[in-house]
């Protein structure tokens, strides 16, 4: 599978965004500690993908009202995706779920030095939220220290994942070391 072998329209999904569609497209996103969940209903040919930045919203009690930042949080984004499939009367048992990302990129910790990384927290909240919704994960590539680049085909549910390697560029100061 090449990133866009079907010459579909390409959509770049930024952090804190969600895409839900029955129109064929290739959705591309780049992940570090962020987490993407793809959902695909094969019979209806409906797909969804999110790019969650943080595990959960601290204002959870306010979630009953509309929120412009729901896709920013893994927990809220998954709940929103499930709701969209439910509203389209698509059975949860027929939805193919795949989870990617959650790398330990920056040793950034929410909650202090001894807490777990943001990437790990994103993975854990995704697993809990999907389990609570009765969703079955069929593919999982999470954790590690490398970023990932995803291409999600909303017409087939296929995901092409490329692992990204960190690189260091040393700037030439213009002086010779002696």
Tens digits of pLDDT across the chain (178 residues): 566 667 899 999 999 999 999 999 999 999 999 999 999 999 999 999 999 999 999 876 555 556 668 899 999 999 999 999 999 999 999 999 999 999 997 655 555 666 789 999 999 999 999 999 999 999 999 999 999 999 999 999 999 999 998 665 566 555 555 4
CATH for 10-164, among 3.40.190.10, 3.50.50.100, 3.30.1330.200, 1.10.40.50?
3.30.1330.200
Question: In which element (H, E) is residue 92 found?
Answer: none
pLDDT at 34: 97
Q: The tokens of 11 are what?
A: 């959509």
Give pTM, 2 decimals: 0.85
pLDDT at 58: 82
Residues 48 and 130: beta-carbon distance below 8 Å: no
pLDDT at 43: 97
pLDDT at 6: 76
Please state the domain extents for the chain: 10-164
Residues 157 and 24: beta-carbon distance below 8 Å: no
pLDDT at 106: 65
């Amino acid at each position: 599978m090449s990133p866009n072998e079907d010459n579909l329209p390409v959509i770049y999904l930024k952090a804190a965004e969600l895409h839900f569609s029955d129109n064929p497209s290739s959705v591309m996103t780049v992940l570090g500690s962020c987490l993407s969940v793809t959902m695909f209903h094969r019979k209806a040919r409906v797909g969804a993908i999110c790019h969650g930045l943080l595990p959960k919203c601290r204002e959870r009690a306010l979630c009953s009202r509309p929120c412009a930042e729901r896709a920013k949080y893994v927990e809220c984004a998954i709940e929103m995706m499930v709701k969209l499939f439910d509203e389209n009367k698509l059975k949860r048992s027929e939805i193919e779920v795949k989870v990617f990302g959650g790398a330990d990129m920056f040793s950034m910790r929410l909650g202090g030095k001894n807490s777990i990384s943001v990437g790990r927290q994103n993975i854990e909240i995704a697993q809990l939220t999907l389990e609570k919704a009765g969703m079955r994960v069929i593919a999982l590539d999470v954790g590690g220290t490398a970023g990932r680049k995803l291409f999600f085909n909303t017409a087939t549910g296929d995901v092409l994942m490329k692992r990204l390697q960190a690189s260091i560029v040393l700037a030439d100061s213009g002086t010779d070391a002696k």
